[in-house]
Amino acid sequence: MNRLILENIVRQALLEDLQQGDITSEAIFDQNFPAKAVFLAKANGVLAGSPVVDEIFRQLDKEITCLAALADGAELKPGTEIAIWQGPIKSLLAGERTALNFLQRLSGIATQTAELVKLTREFGLKIVDTRKTTPGLRMLEKYAVRMGGGFNHRYNLADAVLIKDNHIAACGSITAAVEKARRYIPHTMTIEVETENQAQVLEALAIRADIIMLDNMSVNEMTEMVQLIRRRAIVEASGNIDERTIKEIAATGVDIISVGSLTHSVKALDISLEIKKV
Amino acid sequence: MNRLILENIVRQALLEDLQQGDITSEAIFDQNFPAKAVFLAKANGVLAGSPVVDEIFRQLDKEITCLAALADGAELKPGTEIAIWQGPIKSLLAGERTALNFLQRLSGIATQTAELVKLTREFGLKIVDTRKTTPGLRMLEKYAVRMGGGFNHRYNLADAVLIKDNHIAACGSITAAVEKARRYIPHTMTIEVETENQAQVLEALAIRADIIMLDNMSVNEMTEMVQLIRRRAIVEASGNIDERTIKEIAATGVDIISVGSLTHSVKALDISLEIKKV
Amino acid sequence: MNRLILENIVRQALLEDLQQGDITSEAIFDQNFPAKAVFLAKANGVLAGSPVVDEIFRQLDKEITCLAALADGAELKPGTEIAIWQGPIKSLLAGERTALNFLQRLSGIATQTAELVKLTREFGLKIVDTRKTTPGLRMLEKYAVRMGGGFNHRYNLADAVLIKDNHIAACGSITAAVEKARRYIPHTMTIEVETENQAQVLEALAIRADIIMLDNMSVNEMTEMVQLIRRRAIVEASGNIDERTIKEIAATGVDIISVGSLTHSVKALDISLEIKKV
Amino acid sequence: MNRLILENIVRQALLEDLQQGDITSEAIFDQNFPAKAVFLAKANGVLAGSPVVDEIFRQLDKEITCLAALADGAELKPGTEIAIWQGPIKSLLAGERTALNFLQRLSGIATQTAELVKLTREFGLKIVDTRKTTPGLRMLEKYAVRMGGGFNHRYNLADAVLIKDNHIAACGSITAAVEKARRYIPHTMTIEVETENQAQVLEALAIRADIIMLDNMSVNEMTEMVQLIRRRAIVEASGNIDERTIKEIAATGVDIISVGSLTHSVKALDISLEIKKV
Amino acid sequence: MNRLILENIVRQALLEDLQQGDITSEAIFDQNFPAKAVFLAKANGVLAGSPVVDEIFRQLDKEITCLAALADGAELKPGTEIAIWQGPIKSLLAGERTALNFLQRLSGIATQTAELVKLTREFGLKIVDTRKTTPGLRMLEKYAVRMGGGFNHRYNLADAVLIKDNHIAACGSITAAVEKARRYIPHTMTIEVETENQAQVLEALAIRADIIMLDNMSVNEMTEMVQLIRRRAIVEASGNIDERTIKEIAATGVDIISVGSLTHSVKALDISLEIKKV
Amino acid sequence: MNRLILENIVRQALLEDLQQGDITSEAIFDQNFPAKAVFLAKANGVLAGSPVVDEIFRQLDKEITCLAALADGAELKPGTEIAIWQGPIKSLLAGERTALNFLQRLSGIATQTAELVKLTREFGLKIVDTRKTTPGLRMLEKYAVRMGGGFNHRYNLADAVLIKDNHIAACGSITAAVEKARRYIPHTMTIEVETENQAQVLEALAIRADIIMLDNMSVNEMTEMVQLIRRRAIVEASGNIDERTIKEIAATGVDIISVGSLTHSVKALDISLEIKKV
């Protein structure tokens, strides 16, 4: 994770929520007395987002300090104390909602990832994310996937070649597209091809694609394709995968399962903040 | 909605996804030939996010034009054509993922809101959002709530006074907090008090809070409080409300039901993009 | 006040005045020896802007420290020492003009506000500002008004509804405009109506506007309108009010007097900076 | 004037005033029907700020067009139509306050400058501004001075050397400071020295300063100094100069009179905006 | 290339060179009459940077148009007309220096690259750049390398794994470092190892590094290593390579030659701008 | 140098090189153990860029400290230890390439400048730079010229008037252009005229230009022109000057020699970074 990008994200979030200032705190507190803020889990899950909370309080007030904190990746149960921060009450309250918004979302992603990882542990494959992330938060959401035991797919459109149905149609064939790509791209980069049937898999294999994605295939088809490919390319399963279907997909022998819902349909993990006097 | 803020959000999103450029398109297309991009609904729901798509394609390429588009708020079914855009294929593909990420998320919010609005239509109350929004996207998410027939709660901490348990504890009493706030705030601003029991409701009523929030009360308690308040303040129900519980809460006679999950736990609406030759 | 916005304002100001660097200091000082900078009032007034000076020196040089400083709101006389800062001479000189530009302007606003507040003290009303602020400095100027004992009107166009002559004409009637607004806005928001005569006041009253502005009315008219309204709405007097007319306007019984010149025609308070060797 | 800087200033100003959007217009206008906005002078003065208004409407809505407009520098009387713009009513109203805030301020500066220029016309000297400008608006304020017939002093600390009392004290002598500066600065740059008495003037003259500032001297002293200098340096009068004193100062024979109040204590010129149906 | 990044780079460059405006043009031109600007090559080389010139004039003035322009990659001779632009003279002059600074630098890079590509054409390998680019201009400089017929190495530290001497020392061994990397990175990413001797090459080969860099080896050593590796990894030669040594390095059979001086020691290509009346 | 601008430049450079993070370090280092980074010169030259390195490490990690460092302007030989930094290894490696890219470029400029200064030392003139700098890095490159013993020409187009061939042609004559400029510009500003022959020199002299540039004249012509001007204006030689021709140009008696290649064709000075365990 790059802290400079985190700084920008947090700054933007605080400006959005605080604008010209927290009118409630300004109005009702004569003194900016010290207090403690305790982050508490209220559900089972996996923690992600601690560096974001650090950065939030760092930007708000140099006098806020962290008294205790679990590391990201920690397992949470209802009642688990995630972190304790101390500082001027106005500054703690100013950051409360922003901190919770990040922490709940990122822990939600880590939790959902961890569940899928657990369901497929025996198969020795990787659960990976997609580019279906929340605009502006990709770095953090992909980090949360890692905290949940998942892995990352390519980060952006500049990262690796992924030839999809639209590209194939427009280029004429998988072969044509892969050959053109290979002549153009850096020698450090790989080429993935999205396939929908056996003919496409064979074509991708023949032109030596580094990665072959099996898109929206049935479990039976995937099993066949894995056997056909015989480790000559990395095999990625993709398409509307969830906790009910993932186990039988994993059993097909694919190397990678990519899951868009990890980041596009996040259920926030329930976390609360309690302010205590000191 | 302020288009200048939208511009910043979209720009950030495109930079995040495109970085130094879409290597796949650069590599495989010799020509930047014209194509059509059709956004298709693949599930039932309510559309939100069209101005974001406009802005995405406007920033990417002046030659992209919109041939047809539904307005936000439109009902969608599987197969509904949401919009058709035409322009150079590389530019359409460059915006595909970003457009879908926004459109699916915002339509997901509008859809979820519309469901709750429908469930409570007979009661003449308002479904409102909270500040539990995705950092950086609050303007858009609150817009999506409106497109689904909901209303907005305060936009940020500078917008209105909301005195919560932490404020009450730190200030000594609801009375003290409201009196201080009233002496400080602009005459255009209102004061809301979060209450957890009858004593607090009575205190908030006595000090003439504009809005009284009933936080995490049972349906019976809420019914009693509504009768107690007798329209002398706006009454807002809050706390872990979902599609199973919302109807009986609405029946208590509250004016407002605020629902955090509208924005903190969004299920993306399934929408796809098809590229066609022209 | 939100320190993150202050940071941006100060950064912009320093870049504007310093550009590639202070050529005079660079050229003539071989050493960056320590010195003291003393801010001195040269006229009677009220201080505002100290947090801006803090931020200026914080951004310029971590080695600059504040030895003594009056709090904003303090009364100044010619010769009052406002603050004493110590640090490397080049850094103190680099911030001199920017610090004075802010301090003189904001103290000018606080001073002018305090004069109007004093003139109307006996009437128990509020002197408020408007949106006629210097572009880019609204947060600071509204802060300075508070330091002078005044209050703030709405902060921006998103903050509250204010229905003016142009809106009424375009909408057909006050009644139509207020009804539309009430159906749309957050329940935390209020509605103000600008009126020019008794008929409009009665209409605004009938539709239960929260605030009624009496715009450019004569003192007699205002007295009548206050009696007509009988506390059923907050009453705001507006329009070319200055130190000569404010007292008789206050005597009409209005709750609020808004004064555009507080921020649109500021007379800088005379403050100087003296550099001393240490 | 650099349009790229103007863009940034205007964007910042619009974001400040509009935030998440103009709630009044959004609420009460179902249609965004076309209207005319007429800027009207309500006092005598000199116009400045037209390019800012252009930029405001350009950023807000591509459909807004200018039907007629006076050029900056034009003389205004009560009732003069400054400009007429046409476009969607919501967009015109969104820009109203920001446009007026700029136009009133900048025209106020141009008007005040023009008065001083007129008072001193017969003496063939230049009225110039200072760096006592509003933070963030320097480019525009210095432009307004030119529109009023004045000239600009240096733009920022990087622009030219100006050796003041603090520099002289810290460097030991005018001679030392000027010699050091001359050895360091670009050959395109000039050196000005601030003097308070005859000894300093003589020293500055001896070391061949390009410009000698007579700071806070009496009219008699200034007359003597001008005769002493005999055109061997440009002579600038400075220090608390206003419309009552400027004429006798001009008569001393100085080349330049710099006036801080041109920008630090601006009286907004009264200008209004009327919306008309089309 | 991503036009949004280009926009930022050009905006920054224009602000740097123009600041508050081009004082010369403002002073001497009463009219902003139309003129032509002709870019002329004054040396042999390869053109790169045309999209930057487009963007410069687009940002400066909507009235500037391109009458004729060579495409990037075109061969230039002394006297070749690169492009002809027409528009208001002040705007053309405002962009002159910035346009030339980009064009000369980028064409310098393309020219230097083309020379090395030509020298090694017979060997069927790729000339690639490094991360030794000018801070802030990496996207453009890597684009210029492609225009000269070269290829790009990884774009940034997030793009691909490159294990160098410092990493090996800190990790204990090449084997340990590669194994750790393989367990962590996205499946779309590759691993390159920098080697200095045969033992390291063998270790990198054994652990199946995708790319093996031969760093600062002699021509004889490189020949041996290429034979040792036998196409089981991509082989990259690196280290102080220039036009005198590149041919014999190419003859060793390596796949890739990376050349830092392509971007860290650029000789600007001589290009001039002539303004003509129209 | 203005540290606020430096901050922006460095931030941009780090974001460019680091993006979402250094994947190699993240992958292979379990611990972020402390290490030393030693900058070593590998060639003869003059150091420039130390404040940039400071800023890079300051932004990356608060725990990095400088153990030893030469000052800019220091002479370097192969093996000279330029600076030693200590801190967490991941942070040191994250800054390595960016630090070297700046240091090598700026030291390259300082070195080249110092060579020309040395060659012309006996003539008591100034070697100055031009505006032919790398877009975005002008402040740093002009600083590097000073570190090499050179001086700066004008910083940007707003800094001073420079009337070139295009201006003269468009204005009609040198006389017309200079007269217009003198009536418009601040009294602190100077006027330079570019001349190509004796007639132009005489005209520039007659209209009292402050500086006369002799552009692309032969050595003989320059000698004549210097004698003609007889110190009535500063004389600047310009046009394709390099280490072979500079000495005889200096002998002509000009005051200033401006050299574009100082910044437009920089040869990076060879500097390396060694990481050591602590």
In three-state form (DSSP H/G/I as H, E/B as E, the rest C), the secondary structure along chain F is CCHHHHHHHHHHHHHHHHCCCCHHHHHHCCCCCEEEEEEEECCCEECCCHHHHHHHHHHHCCCCEEEEECCCCCEECCCCEEEEEEEEHHHHHHHHHHHHHHHHHHHHHHHHHHHHHHHCHHHCCEEECCCCCCCCCHHHHHHHHHHCCCECCCCCCCCCEEECHHHHHHHCCHHHHHHHHHHHCCCCECEEEEECCHHHHHHHHHCCCCEEEEECCCHHHHHHHHHHHCCCCEEEEECCCCCCCHHHHHCCCCCEEECCHHHHCCCCCCEEEEEEEC
Give the CA radius of gyration of chain A: 23
In Å, how far is E224's CA from the nearest CA of chain B?
Answer: 34
A chain contacts of residue B134, beta-carbon cutoff 8 Å: 101, 105, 134, 137
Q: pTM of whole model > 0.95?
A: yes
* Secondary structure element (H or E) that encloses residue E63, with its range: none
Q: Which two tokens stand for residue C119?
A: 């003139």
| Cα–Cα distance list, C175 to C181, C234, D29, E84 (Å) | 10, 18, 14, 61
Tell me which chains share at least 3 CB pairs under 8 Å with chain D: B, C, E, F
Same domain, B90 and B209: no
By C-alpha distance, which of D260, D225, D7, D18 is closest to D131?
D260
Same domain, A17 and A151: no
Same domain, C44 and C103: yes
In Å, how far is D120's CA from the nearest CA of chain B?
Answer: 45
Same domain, F57 and F138: no
Instruction: Return the number of other C-beta atoms located less than 10 Å from residue D90's C-beta.
Output: 21
Give the residue, D112 or D30, on which the prediction is more confident.
D112
Query: Distance between CA E120 and CA E104 in Å, rounded?
Result: 25
Q: What is the pLDDT of residue C277?
A: 85
Same domain, C218 and C235: yes
Same domain, E129 and E254: yes
Nearest chain C residue (CA) to A23: C1
Q: Is the pLDDT of residue E240 over 90?
A: no
Options B36, B131, B154, B164, the catalytic residue: B164
Q: Is the pLDDT of residue E45 over 90?
A: yes
Residue D232 annotated in active site? no
Cβ atoms of residues F256 and F128 within 8 Å = yes
Q: What is the pLDDT of residue F240?
A: 80
Find all residues with CB under 8 Å of F230, minimum gap 6, and list them.
none
Same domain, B23 and B42: yes
CB proximity D19 to B under 8 Å: yes
Options E54, E215, E236, E255, the catalytic residue: E215
CATH code where residue E55 lies: 3.90.1170.20
| A81-85, D241-245, E224-228: segment of lowest average pLDDT | D241-245
Query: Distance between CA C232 and CA B1 in Å, rounded?
Result: 33
Cβ atoms of residues A44 and A76 within 8 Å = yes
Rounded to 10 degrees, the C-alpha dihedral C39/C42/C48/C52 comes to -30
- Choose among D15, D21, D59: nearest Cβ to B1: D21
Cβ within 8 Å, pair E2-B11: no
What interface predicted TM-score (ipTM) does this complex get?
0.96
CB proximity A1 to F under 8 Å: yes
Cβ within 8 Å, pair F20-A4: no
B chain contacts of residue C190, beta-carbon cutoff 8 Å: 188-190
* Secondary structure element (H or E) that encloses residue D96, with its range: helix D89-119
- Identity at E197, one-letter amino acid code: N
Instruction: Decide: helix, strand or coil at residue C138.
Output: helix
Residue D62 annotated in active site? no
Reported as a pLDDT band with limits 50, 70 and 90, residue A257 is: very high
| Cα–Cα distance list, E274 to E35, E132, F173 (Å) | 10, 33, 18
Query: Distance between CA E86 and CA E39 in Å, rounded?
Result: 12
CA distance from start to end of chain D: 34
Give the CA radius of gyration of chain C: 23
Residue E215 annotated in active site? yes
A chain contacts of residue C2, beta-carbon cutoff 8 Å: 15, 18-21
Share of chain E above pLDDT 70, in %: 100
Q: Is the pLDDT of residue B270 over 90?
A: yes
* Secondary structure element (H or E) that encloses residue E166, with its range: helix E165-171
- Choose among B20, B161, B170: nearest Cβ to A27: B161
By C-alpha distance, which of E179, E140, E188, E138 is closest to E160?
E188
By C-alpha distance, which of E150, E138, E155 is closest to E256?
E150
Rounded to 10 degrees, the C-alpha dihedral A136/A102/A8/F50 comes to -130
Compute the average pLDDT of residues D47-59: 98
Reported as a pLDDT band with limits 50, 70 and 90, residue B227 is: very high
Q: What is the pLDDT of residue A248?
A: 96
Query: Distance between CA D66 and CA D54 in Å, rounded?
Result: 8
Same domain, D203 and D136: yes
Q: What is the pLDDT of residue C104?
A: 98
Lookup result for tokens 């002493």: D228
Query: Distance between CA D184 and CA D161 in Å, rounded?
Result: 11
CB proximity F101 to D under 8 Å: no
Instruction: Return the number of other C-beta atoms located less than 10 Å from residue B38's C-beta.
Output: 17
Query: Distance between CA C229 and CA C237 in Å, rounded?
Result: 13
**Strands ordered across the beta sheet of D256-258:** D126-128, D256-258, D234-238, D211-215, D191-195, D161-163
Domain residues for the domain of B224 are 117-264
pLDDT digits (tens, 9 = 90+) for B44-53: 999 999 999 9
In Å, how far is C242's CA from the nearest CA of chain F?
Answer: 38
**Structural domain count of chain B:** 2
Query: Distance between CA A104 and CA F28 in Å, rounded?
Result: 29
Query: Distance between CA A233 and CA A212 in Å, rounded?
Result: 6
- Identity at E236, one-letter amino acid code: E
Angle between helices B138-147 and B89-119 (to 10 degrees): 60
Q: Which of C10, C19, C60 to mutate to test the interface with F (most CBs of F within 10 A)?
A: C19
Nearest chain F residue (CA) to C18: F2
- Tell me what the pLDDT averaged over chain B comes to: 97
Query: Distance between CA F163 and CA D204 in Å, rounded?
Result: 30
Cβ atoms of residues C167 and D92 within 8 Å = no
Instruction: Decide: helix, strand or coil at residue E80.
Output: coil
Q: What is the DSSP string of chain B?
A: --HHHHHHHHHHHHHHHHTT--HHHHHH-SS--EEEEEEEE-SSEE---HHHHHHHHHHH-TT-EEEEEPPTT-EE-TT-EEEEEEEEHHHHHHHHHHHHHHHHHHHHHHHHHHHHHHHTGGGT-EEE--S-PPTT-HHHHHHHHHHTT-B----STTTSEEE-HHHHHHHS-HHHHHHHHHHHS-TTB-EEEEESSHHHHHHHHHTT-SEEEEES--HHHHHHHHHHHTTSSEEEEESS--TTTHHHHHTTT-SEEE-THHHHS-----EEEEEEE-
B chain contacts of residue E142, beta-carbon cutoff 8 Å: 20
Instruction: Give the residues of chain C that fall short of pLDDT 70.
Output: none
Please give the average pLDDT of every successive group of 10 residues along chain F, which has 278 residues: 96 97 95 95 98 98 97 98 97 97 98 98 97 98 98 96 93 95 96 98 98 97 97 95 94 98 97 92
In Å, how far is A229's CA from the nearest CA of chain B?
Answer: 23
Cβ within 8 Å, pair B4-D11: yes
Q: Is the pLDDT of residue A147 over 90?
A: yes
pLDDT digits (tens, 9 = 90+) for A23-33: 999 999 988 99
Compute the average pLDDT of residues D21-43: 95
Share of chain C above pLDDT 70, in %: 100
- Choose among B160, B186, B187: nearest Cβ to C188: B160
CB proximity A177 to B under 8 Å: yes
The string over C149-161, giving b where at least 16 C-beta atoms fall within 10 Å of a residue's C-beta and e elsewhere, is: bbbbbbbbbbbbb
The string over C68-103, giving b where at least 16 C-beta atoms fall within 10 Å of a residue's C-beta and e elsewhere, is: ebbebebebeeebebbbbbbbbbbbbbbbbbbbbbb
Q: What is the pLDDT of residue C98?
A: 98
F7 alpha carbon, distance to own chain's centre: 18
Cβ within 8 Å, pair F15-A5: yes
CB proximity A155 to F under 8 Å: yes
By C-alpha distance, which of F257, F262, F264, F274 is closest to F48?
F262
Burial of B163 (0-12, 13-18, 19+ CB in 10 A): buried
Cβ within 8 Å, pair B151-C186: yes
Q: Where are the alpha helices (DSSP H) in A120-255?
A: 138-147, 165-171, 174-184, 198-206, 219-229, 246-250
CB proximity D100 to F under 8 Å: no
CB proximity C63 to D under 8 Å: no
CATH code where residue C133 lies: 3.20.20.70
pLDDT digits (tens, 9 = 90+) for E103-132: 999 999 999 999 999 999 999 999 999 999
Lookup result for tokens 């992600």: A48
Query: Distance between CA B259 and CA B141 in Å, rounded?
Result: 13
Same domain, C252 and C271: no
pLDDT digits (tens, 9 = 90+) for D228-239: 999 999 999 999
Same domain, E230 and E250: yes
pLDDT digits (tens, 9 = 90+) for E177-214: 999 999 999 999 999 999 999 999 999 999 999 999 99
**Chain A residues 107-126 with a CB less than 8 Å from chain E:** 126
D chain contacts of residue E60, beta-carbon cutoff 8 Å: 3
Query: Distance between CA E159 and CA A157 in Å, rounded?
Result: 12
Strand A211-215 and strand A234-238: the pairing is parallel
Same domain, B132 and B249: yes
Q: What is the pLDDT of residue C240?
A: 80
Q: What is the pLDDT of residue D277?
A: 85
Q: Which two tokens stand for residue B196?
A: 């957890």
pLDDT digits (tens, 9 = 90+) for A212-236: 999 999 999 999 999 999 999 999 9
Give the CA radius of gyration of chain F: 23
Query: Distance between CA F100 and CA F274 in Å, rounded?
Result: 11
- Find the length of chain D: 278
Instruction: Decide: helix, strand or coil at residue D151.
Output: strand
Same domain, A179 and A249: yes
Cβ within 8 Å, pair D161-C105: no
By C-alpha distance, which of A224, A220, A247, A225 is closest to A235?
A225
3-state helix, strand, coil in chain D (%, to 5): 45, 20, 35
